[in-house]
Amino acid sequence: MSFTKEFREFAVKGNVMDLAVGVIIGAAFARIVNSLVTDIVMPIAGIIVGPQGFKNSYTVLGNGDKVTPGMSLEDARTSGANILAWGNFLSAVLDFLIIAFIIFMLVKALNRMRRKEEIVATV
C-alpha cells in the first residue's frame, strides 16, 4: 500500500476528522465560556469586591511608593511595585472551575446517551 493511500485512509477514517471537529467546537465553546465568565459571573463578583473590579484586585507587598488607591493592576505592575494579583488568580481559577463543570456535564450527558443506546442494542 502506498504512503499517500495509507495517509488518505487515516485522514478520512475519522481520527483526524474527529480531532478537527473537536478543535473547532472547543474554540467556539471557549468563547461561550469566556463570555459567561467575563460578562455575567465577574460583574456579579465585582459587586462584592468593589468598583475597581474583580480582576483588578491586588495587594501591594512591597515597594509600593508610587501605587495610589484605585490604580489599575497594569499600572501598579508597571510602577515597579511588588504586586500580589489575587483577583486575577481567582478569576483564572473561577474560569477553570466553570469550564470543568460544563465539560463534566457534557460528558455525563454523553455517557447517559451511550448507556441508553447500549440498552436498546441489547434488547
Domain residue extents for the chain: 3-122
Q: What percent of the chain has pLDDT over 90?
A: 0
- List Cβ neighbours of 6 (8 Å cut-off, separation of 6 or more): none
Fold of domain 3-122: 1.10.1200
Strands (E), the chain: 59-62, 82-84
Phi and psi, residue 54, nearest 5°: -70, -45
Q: Tell me how far apart the alpha carbons of residues 70 and 73 are, in angstroms, rounded to a whole number.
A: 9
Q: What percent of the chain has pLDDT over 70?
A: 89
The pLDDT of residue 53 is 63
Per-residue pLDDT tens over the stretch 49-89: 666 667 778 888 877 778 888 788 888 888 888 888 888 88
Q: Tell me how far apart the alpha carbons of residues 20 and 22 are, in angstroms, rounded to a whole number.
A: 5
Taking the CA atoms of residue 74, residue 98, residue 93 and residue 38 in that order, the dihedral angle to the nearest 10 degrees is: 10
pLDDT tops 80 at residue 12: no
CB 88 within 8 A of CB 115: no
Task: Quickly state the pLDDT bin for 123 (edges 50, 70, 90).
Answer: low
The pLDDT of residue 95 is 77
pLDDT tops 80 at residue 16: no
Residues in the chain: 123
Segment 90-94 shows an average pLDDT of: 82
- The mean predicted confidence, pLDDT, of the chain is 80
Positive or negative: CA dihedral 67, 69, 72, 73: positive
